[in-house]
Homo-oligomer: A and B are copies of this chain.
């Protein structure tokens, strides 16, 4: 099925599809996802609006394609930042680098970030294709945490002594981490998994608050504040 020798039409189709995506991406840098006009991107690529429907059945499908692209770009940026840390055993440094890269990408691509993590458009359910790229950042964060655990940093207490244990509620995440099949085949402790999810929520919350303007007047230097948050998140994980 996958012919290497593509016909001219197939090549043209792939090129035009990419061209439309690129135009839509450019438009996204100037306006939010809700304002993305299919007719406008059609004009940008020199086509009539109805012609675009040959490539994307609807505006939502265009958004889905953009969604996947943006998720992958963010994931790649986060992973690259982690990979760039020289000392692979310094889990804290890796954590901070990955968190920072996430915020940096968000600040540089606010509308793409809004597309990924903003309030979803009504009636639009993200299809299956998006869930894998969507988890790249959190997966990498989990890998860093698990690497620290494998290196001997065992958390002291379990979740059982807490009045609100994470144990039953994060079972899905625990199983997902087991399925990841890292170097340590040991079960990830629920408390640590819950703490990691909590940290991820904090990262998202801090970035979104900054971008949506909810910290205006309270926080002056957002980068510095974020670094402080990320550092405390690591210590709060309860490792070592």
Judge if A229 is at the interface, Cβ distance under 8 Å: yes
**Which candidate, A48-56, A72-80, A83-91, A206-214, is the interface stretch facing chain B?**
A206-214
- Structural contact, A228 and B121, CB atoms closer than 8 A: no
Complex Cα–Cα for A165 and B224 (A): 8
Q: Which of A92-129 contact B (CB under 8 A)?
A: 114, 117-123, 126
- Structural contact, A169 and B206, CB atoms closer than 8 A: no
Chain B residues with CB under 8 Å of A213's CB are: 120, 126
Complex Cα–Cα for A224 and B165 (A): 8
Q: Which residue of B lies closest to A124 (CB)?
A: B32
**Which candidate, A1-9, A10-18, A147-155, A171-179, is the interface stretch facing chain B?**
A171-179
- Tell whether A172 pairs with B218 under 8 Å between CB atoms, given A164-B227, A232-B195: yes
Chain B residues with CB under 8 Å of A163's CB are: 231
Chain B residues with CB under 8 Å of A197's CB are: 215, 218-219, 225
Q: How many copies does the complex hold?
A: 2
- Structural contact, A228 and B168, CB atoms closer than 8 A: no
Set B205, B219, B220: member contacting A202, Cβ < 8 A: B205
- Structural contact, A214 and B173, CB atoms closer than 8 A: no
Set B32, B172, B202: member contacting A122, Cβ < 8 A: B32
Q: Which residue of B lies closest to A205 (CB)?
A: B205
- Structural contact, B202 and A168, CB atoms closer than 8 A: no
Q: Is the interface of A mostly helix, strand, loop or mixed?
A: helix
- Structural contact, B176 and A217, CB atoms closer than 8 A: yes
- Structural contact, B220 and A32, CB atoms closer than 8 A: no
Complex Cα–Cα for A55 and B237 (A): 52
Complex Cα–Cα for A169 and B217 (A): 11
The 20 listed contacts between A and B (C-beta, < 8 Å) are A32-B119, A32-B120, A32-B122, A34-B34, A35-B122, A114-B119, A117-B119, A117-B212, A119-B119, A120-B213, A131-B217, A164-B227, A172-B217, A173-B219, A194-B229, A197-B219, A198-B228, A201-B229, A205-B208, A208-B208
Q: 17 additional contacts, CB 8 Å, given A169-B225, A194-B225, A198-B206?
A: A31-B122, A32-B120, A118-B118, A131-B217, A162-B232, A166-B225, A169-B221, A170-B225, A172-B218, A173-B217, A198-B202, A198-B229, A201-B206, A203-B205, A204-B209, A205-B206, A208-B208
